[in-house]
Amino acid sequence: AGAAAGAGPALRSYPHSAVLDGAGAYRLRWGRRGSALALRLEVRTRGYVGFGLSASGGMASADIVVGGVERGQPYLQDYFTDENRVLKKDPQQDYHLEYAMENSTHTILAFSRELHTCDTNDKSITESTVRVIWAYHHKDMGEAGQNYHGSNRGTKSLRLLNPEREEVSSASLPYFDLTNKDVPVPDKDTTYWCQMFKIPIQHEKHHVTKVEPLIQKGHENLVHHILLYQCSSNLNDSVLDYGHECYHPNMPDSFLTCETVIFAWAIGGEGFTYPPHVGLSIGTAADPLFVLMEVHYDNPSYTEGLIDNSGLRLIYTPALRKYDAGVIEAGLWVSLFHNIPPGMPEFVSEGHCTLECLEEALGAERPAGIQVFAVLLHAHLAGRAIRMRHFHNGEEQKLLAYDDEFDFNFQEFQYLKEERTILPGDNLITECHYSTVDRIRMTWGGLSTRNEMCLSYLLYYPRINLTRCASIPDIMEQLQFIGVKEIYRPVRTWPFIIKSPKQYKNLSFMDAMNKFKWSRSEGLSYNQLVLKLPVNVRCSKTDNAEWSIQGMTALPPEIERPYKTEPVICSSSSCLSCSLFLTLLFIVHITANTIGKPVPFV
């Protein structure tokens, strides 16, 4: 027995898909259609299905659609919730049902929505991360009024507007796997596990064309993200013997040589496919030989006895592509000189890939410029938004990449819609927005997730000898802000010790910064100061060699702050011909007459 309405678009209209729950009962398929997004939900229920977009991943202030098939009749309703999670029918219905089907086990709904509606109750769909919320119930909406969906609900971060990529069949190509071997996952919330590997292809050049996650069955929600770093090629095979917790005081020193990210996968992410004309070169002396795989395990229920064998599959080909891919780490050099006061709803840090560094490295190696085709934006738990700003001869270009809804638990390379040329004379700024309202001590730049980072990883071609293009703000001027007059010289301890004034005497600069009484207005003044400070240039080659500009001081460019976002042209699908006045009248009238009693939807 089944009921269907509408013919429904073919599955090829939805090139992307993700299973939203751990049990595989809720699948979302989607694809862009001009200025709209087409969505298809396939859910193991004969009751209602809920889907929404939320700023926080919770039910408060969310944009929600609920639908199903009841007694053969399809229904789809646009709702929103207020900050108290009260569900209200949206006076402007922007989700349009195209197909509905129910059989003995599943409900399928296909519908579309404009990316930017003219409705304040809807969330705009952009290239930023979207926190999708989902729910379902075994009964339909109308059967017992508002049914509570119990445990059949959740949230998942996705990028709904990631551009399509040309898929080249890799079925017959050779591959090798980098997988953990029986890692005992501790019964704690978060574990970072690091394991060193040696690339097995060493004698002849090949190109990696695709990297796929290999997640152990049943561990889809345990394995949170995987990063692959290139390590120093001066290591020997003794480093391969065992894995260890990353960022741990006892971790092997060899791990510290692994700094360049060559691949990143995050929960919800698919494999990464290189463009048809580019590959990651392996097998020659200039290529990665030792790599470090970092796996972030997320075990919020503190489950004991978990053993994991997840990892990555690298698919490669002897048929060489035109260009070798390279990776440049840009942004703020990770150090204690990057710091964020406590209690700040917003604090902005900027890392500079300076004109001076790009001028020297590109001028020497590639005056015609490099082509960036994907970007990974990286911060830690206090990160809220990241933008990669691009300037050519001092003139600001379109953003290279951005994520205004940054989610630490969902980080993957974003493909650029169009490759971007970076030329000598350009400069790049990684702009990171943080919130430390829930913190009472300073947040410091560092490796742990409670520390912070502000980085962009640029995937580009052709590969040149530039692995890091970053900056560090001047620390002495930061300390002068809190009243430090003098430090003990020569510096023999780290962090160094303050000599005067009396209130900070013999304190480390970290303790002094924590002792200072930070208010929001002090934090704001400090933020304005830090953004104008001279920066120390980091401009590195592979294997810790440096360009001559490294260590020099440069002034950050004069730029417009904050970044002016491009105006969004919205199109209300419900009311294109109405005047604004009529629209407002209509909304007020509907709101007054039909919303009725608010219903809690938790």
* Active-site annotation holder among 116, 207, 338, 378: 378
**pLDDT of res. 145:** 55
pLDDT of 448 higher than 80? no
Pick the CATH number of 173-321 from 3.50.50.60, 3.10.150.10, 3.40.30.10, 2.60.120.310: 2.60.120.310
- Average pLDDT of 487-509? 94
Over residues 19-39, the pLDDT tens digits come to: 888 778 999 999 999 999 999
**pLDDT of res. 598:** 40
Q: Are strands 175-179 and 311-317 parallel, antiparallel or unpaired?
A: antiparallel
Contacts of 574 (CB under 8 A, 6+ apart): 92, 93, 94
Contacts of 264 (CB under 8 A, 6+ apart): 225, 226, 227, 228, 376, 411, 412, 413, 457
* Active-site annotation holder among 192, 229, 457, 504: 192
Comparing CA positions, the residue from 481, 29, 458, 526 lying closest to residue 261 is 458
pLDDT of 7 higher than 70? no
Over residues 200-249, the pLDDT tens digits come to: 988 899 999 999 999 999 898 889 889 899 898 888 898 987 799 998 88
**Higher-confidence position of 352 and 584:** 352
Range with lowest mean pLDDT among 14-28, 257-271, 325-339, 467-481: 257-271
Yes or no: say if 68 and 102 are a contact pair by the CB < 8 Å rule: yes
In order, the DSSP letters of 374-410 are: EEEEE--TTEEEEEEEEEETTEE-S-SEEETT--TT-
Chain centroid to CA 46: 35
Q: What is the band of 56 on the pLDDT scale with cuts at 50, 70, 90? A: confident
CATH 2.60.40.1210 fits 16-158, yes or no: yes
pLDDT of 587 higher than 70? no
Q: Is 192 a catalytic residue?
A: yes
**pLDDT of res. 592:** 35
Compute the distance between CA of residue 587 and CA of residue 255 in angstroms, rounded to an integer. 59
pLDDT of 259 higher than 50? yes
pLDDT of 594 higher than 60? no
Indicate the fold that domain 325-474+533-566 takes in CATH. Jelly Rolls (2.60.120)
Q: Where are the domains of the chain?
A: 16-158, 173-321, 325-474+533-566
**pLDDT of res. 185:** 95
- Please tell me whether residue 212 adopts helix, strand or coil conformation: strand
Mean pLDDT of the chain: 88
Same fold, 173-321 and 325-474+533-566: yes
CB neighbourhood size of 7 (10 A): 9
- Average pLDDT of 429-457? 93
pLDDT of 590 higher than 90? no
Contacts of 435 (CB under 8 A, 6+ apart): 344, 345, 346, 347, 382, 384
Compute the distance between CA of residue 398 and CA of residue 392 in angstroms, rounded to an integer. 10
Residue 351, beta-bridge partner list: 430
Over residues 290-313, the pLDDT tens digits come to: 999 999 898 878 899 999 999 999
Q: What is the band of 564 on the pLDDT scale with cuts at 50, 70, 90? A: confident
Over residues 515-547, the pLDDT tens digits come to: 999 999 999 999 999 999 999 999 998 777 899
Over residues 95-105, the pLDDT tens digits come to: 999 999 999 99
Yes or no: say if 320 and 279 are a contact pair by the CB < 8 Å rule: yes
Comparing CA positions, the residue from 433, 428, 434 lying closest to residue 470 is 428
For 21, half-sphere exposure in the C-beta direction (CA atoms, 13 angstrom radius) is 17
Compute the distance between CA of residue 493 and CA of residue 186 in angstroms, rounded to an integer. 35
**pLDDT of res. 268:** 62
**pLDDT of res. 148:** 60
- Average pLDDT of 139-155? 72
